[in-house]
Amino acid sequence: MSDLPTLFARVRARAERESGDLRPCVGEQDVARAESLLGFPLPPVLAGLYRHVADGGFGPEYFLLPLVGEEGTVVSTYRALRAEAGTWPHGMVPVLDWGCGMYAAVDCLREGAPVLLFEPNAVGDDWADAWFEDAPSLRGWLLSWLDGTGWWEEEVMAAGGVELTRWPGAGARLAARA
């Protein structure tokens, strides 16, 4: 993706406008350590956000989780969620905590790094019902934030919102406990 530097510059400009002082970016060693702890590589867009924008603290509403550190990071949250049997698929990293148990998560195992919404509050017995397709790619999700067209935007909600569809691959990924 040759447009990544432009995307990172746009994200950084908005993050600086909205968040003020940004956390320092992480280095290649931090990304490598996170990938080692997770057991899979981060998509280039996600790793690039942390390397070229900031170590979390920016983005839609509640802000992206930091990648590195002790608690409340992408790595620590992923590991905690994976420890809860049957609720969190392998390769799906939480990047933003919406509150009330809801997360935005990036699928690190699929092309384009789709973003999914984990919404456990209305789930019965099947955790696959808690997973919704938010954006076909992390790049697209970031653009919807930059352009003000994400489902979480007040104006979008006031206009009737966006109907998110259930992620059809959730059941299979939850069953495969890699």
CA atoms of 153 and 52, how far apart (whole Å): 25
What is the largest distance, in Å, between two alpha-carbon atoms of the chain?
Answer: 44
Mean pLDDT of the chain: 91
133-149 tens-digit pLDDT = 999 999 999 999 999 87
- Where is mean pLDDT largest: 13-27, 32-46, 158-172? 32-46
Strands (DSSP E) along the chain, which ranges? Answer: 92-99, 102-107, 115-118, 131-135, 165-166
145 near 59, Cβ under 8 Å? yes
144 near 135, Cβ under 8 Å? yes
Residue indicated by tokens 């009737």:
160
64-79 tens-digit pLDDT = 999 988 889 999 999 9
- For the chain, domains (ranges, CATH) are 4-175 (3.40.1580.10)
pLDDT band at 7 (very low <50, low <70, confident <90, very high): very high
CA atoms of 67 and 159, how far apart (whole Å): 34
141 near 135, Cβ under 8 Å? yes
